[in-house]
Amino acid sequence: MKIKVAIIGSGNIGTDLMIKIIRLSSSLEMSVLVGINTNSDGLARAARLGIETCATGIDGLVKMPIWKEIKIIFDATSAKAHAYNWEIIKQFPNKKMIDLTPAAIGPYLVPPVNFLENLDVPNLNMVTCGGQATIPIVAAVHQVAKVHYGEIVASIASKSAGPGTRANIDEFTETTSAAIEQVGGADRGKAIIILNPAEPPLVMRDTVFTLSEPADKERIRQSIHDMVKAVQSYVPGYQLHQEVQFEDIPESAPVFIEGLGHRHGLKTTVLLQVRGAGHYLPEYAGNLDIMTSAARATAERIVAEGLCNPN
């Protein structure tokens, strides 16, 4: 029996997630799409697909007869809206929240890195698109050597950055930087986002820099390749754009890291590309696709682990 789910947010991310669940999931049943704009394309599309809709936000959702059957709620709104939504949903202890906003109320979750550490948590935060793309790489290096510093640069097509993304730029950098440390394992993390105005739009590109203790380069390379395969299991368009690059930083010429002082060791550079699946969003919107794909994978893993009772 499939687990019934609801999505709050009828914009690009919520609508793409809805399509993914309908087309791809064998364990999730798309039950309700929730928005606040009665004229949104997402709500109209859901209605055409026979999915129940609600245009009065979380307050309307909890009054619907189907609410008691819903076990997992995805929040694809904004950081500010999520804070309000969670105040309502946390009153229902038998429901799981998967947060696709940078609100970071619940613990950070990157599926191939720390899912098992958060089995019983009611509110899971999917960090950010840049975090989902790059934190697995920082964690892959950390599996081999202590990481002093991790820096990520996420470049996304300007056309793929809607009002929600643009309103949450500060939250993006703060949330991603914190997750690089807390999930990726770096002593210090930094995140940068670039909105690329190029026409035609370019697919998502991510650059990951780490400075770690000296270590076997081939072990790090293999760890990174293994992690890329793990992410590809739910985001097929995720791939290395170039082979992993290394640079030795000698003790005689260390680099200065704010908050840590001077450090030497091994610099690892990883260049990534994320192409979307094109379910609802354009292929260049890999930044949005990786969020919806990671959220779906998380919900399916929750079901597979028996953490949701359909009754």
Per domain, the residue ranges of the chain are 3-126+290-304, 129-284
Q: Identify the residue with better confidence: 1 or 279.
A: 279
Question: How far apart, in whole angstroms, are the C-alpha atoms of residue 232 and residue 229?
Answer: 5
In 3D space, the residue among 94, 50, 104, 101 whose CA is nearest the CA of residue 75 turns out to be: 101
Report the distance separating Cα 184 and Cα 110, nearest Å. Answer: 9
Q: In the structure, what pLDDT confidence band is assigned to residue 269 with cuts at 50, 70 and 90?
A: very high
**Residue 44 — very low, low, confident or very high, per pLDDT cuts 50/70/90?**
very high
Question: Residue 310: its pLDDT value, please?
Answer: 60
Strands 28-34 and 96-99: unpaired
Helix intervals (H) in 157-279: 163-167, 169-182, 217-232
CATH of domain 129-284: 3.30.360.10
Q: How confident is the model at residue 311 (pLDDT cuts 50, 70, 90)?
A: low
Give residue 13's pLDDT.
94
Residue type, position 114, single letter: N
What's the whole-number mean pLDDT along residues 174-194? 97
Q: Token digits for 159? A: 């056309």
Active site residue 129: yes
Query: What is the pLDDT, as a whole number, of residue 165?
Result: 83
Determine contact, residues 204/277, Cβ cutoff 8 Å.
no
Span 290-307, average pLDDT: 96
Flag the least confident range among 32-46, 103-117, 152-166, 247-261: 152-166
Q: What is the pLDDT of residues 146-164, one digit of tens each?
A: 999 999 999 999 999 878 7
Q: Which amino acid is at 76?
A: A
Structure tokens at 135: 């934190």
In this prediction, residue 23 carries a pLDDT of 97
Q: Can you name the residues that pair with 190 across neighbouring β-strands?
A: 151
Averaged confidence pLDDT in the chain = 96
Burial (Cβ within 10 Å: 0-12, 13-18, ≥19) of residue 198: exposed
Query: Confidence class of residue 74 from pLDDT cuts 50, 70 and 90?
Result: very high
- Catalytic residue, from 98, 129, 133, 180: name it: 129
CATH code that applies to domain 3-126+290-304: 3.40.50.720
